[in-house]
Amino acid sequence: MRLAAVPSSIPAGEVRPPSKDETRRNCGGETMGTTWRVDLHSSRMESVGEVRHTVAEVLERLVGQMSHYRPDSDLGRFNRARGAQWVNLPVEMFHVLDTALSVALETEGAFDPTLGHLVNSWGFGPNGPTGTPPDAQAVLDGLFRRGWSRLLLDPARGRAWQPGGVSVDFSSIAKGFAVDQVARVLDDFGIANFLVEIGGELRSRGVKSGGHPWWVAIEQPPDCEGFPEVVVALCGQAVATSGDYRRYFMHDGVRYSHTIDPRTGKPVRGDLASVTVIHDQCILADAYSTALLVLGEAAGHLFAEKRQLPALFIARDGNGFRHSCTRAFQDMLD
């Protein structure tokens, strides 16, 4: 079975379908430990080469700023700053931190960009996999060292306050931001019809030839056979999915996934296997999908309904799965 989700309205001026001389082309590469891909309609073969080059440059710049894995990144510099001090940040990183702190505030800390030490202790950070849960002391230590509310921003001077020892991790938001930045590059090239994807997070503009929407299949947990495939007509919007199957380890029959509940310092428990969010901005689709996975089914639904967010929840149910969605998502299915 297949369910199709279509936006109830398309922003005015959004769509200029590809003309006959515009051919569908694509380019891609590797970034952020995953892959990127752009599908676009263009009349000029050369423009794809230029697009590939510019996108690769932009992504390299973002990785140089925000990679948790590169000690020489601006993020590495922020995390290593000795003692309490202001740290100057590049404009894009400042924006990502600002957005991450807003989502942390909005979700009462369920989304927390300062879990770097905990993420590492659980084997999902730059120190590499451990395969076993950390001891209680390491969890306590990570809980003590997190603290999004202790970071401060100084927009006038483009700097952030490092209270000392806080480890920022942008893995739950940087891909979404990068998708938005790539979409901006394509806008600047004057490309009216495209689909951008980085590691499963997507954003589109316009339509494909013949006026057909960019249909994208929503990522589902593996072993979901027999479960309805959900496809979305992305029209100027972004979609992001967070799942407990993306990175995890099994220990004594328990699944430990890379999404950490900041209240316990441990991987989230509960039935949710994945959450997908649709939003105009991929940075927010990415942050919210992580946040809803932490909040869990009941609180996640409440949060998303209150903000009229289209969101799809897939939960484990015995040996199978069940799904539920918000009213805004249901409206797209009807």
Options 65, 162, 242, 276; binder of ligand AMP; rule CB under 6 A: 242
CB nearer to Mg ion: give 73 or 242: 242
Who's near 149: CB < 8 A, 6+ residues apart?
Answer: 104, 105, 109
286: contact with ligand AMP by CB under 6 A: yes
Closest CA to 218 of 244, 243, 185, 241: 241
Q: Which residues bind Mg ion (CB under 5 A)?
A: 172, 242, 286, 290
Instruction: Give min distance, CB of 151 to ligand AMP, in A.
Output: 13
CB nearer to ligand AMP: give 234 or 287: 287
Instruction: Give min distance, CB of 199 to ligand AMP, in A.
Output: 8
Options 38, 62, 93, 115; binder of ligand AMP; rule CB under 6 A: 115
Among the listed ranges 22-30, 256-264, 276-284, 304-312, the one in contact with ligand AMP (CB under 6 A) is 256-264
Options 178, 294, 314, 332; binder of ligand AMP; rule CB under 6 A: 294
Q: List b or e across 48-62, with b for residues whose CB sees 16 or more CB atoms inside 10 angstroms.
A: beebbeebbebbeeb
119 binds, among Mg ion, ligand AMP, none (CB under 5 to 8 A by kind): ligand AMP
Beta-sheet pairing, 260-261 with 214-217: unpaired
197: contact with ligand AMP by CB under 6 A: no
Contact by Cβ (8 Å): 168, 174 = no
Who's near 234: CB < 8 A, 6+ residues apart?
Answer: 195, 202, 203, 204, 213, 214, 215, 216, 278
Who's near 218: CB < 8 A, 6+ residues apart?
Answer: 229, 230, 231, 232, 239, 241, 276, 312
219: contact with ligand AMP by CB under 6 A: no
Among positive and negative, which fits the CA dihedral 285, 287, 288, 292? positive
145: contact with ligand AMP by CB under 6 A: no
119: contact with ligand AMP by CB under 6 A: yes
Q: Using the structure block, give the residue that is written with the tokens 């931190």.
A: 97
Options 96, 290, 311, 321; binder of ligand AMP; rule CB under 6 A: 290
248: contact with ligand AMP by CB under 6 A: no
Among the listed ranges 14-22, 37-45, 258-266, 304-312, the one in contact with ligand AMP (CB under 6 A) is 258-266
Instruction: Give min distance, CB of 286 to ligand AMP, in A.
Output: 5
CB nearer to Mg ion: give 74 or 286: 286
Among the listed ranges 150-158, 186-194, 286-294, 317-325, the one in contact with ligand AMP (CB under 6 A) is 286-294
Return the bridge partners of 86, or none: 161
Among positive and negative, which fits the CA dihedral 1, 36, 158, 260? positive
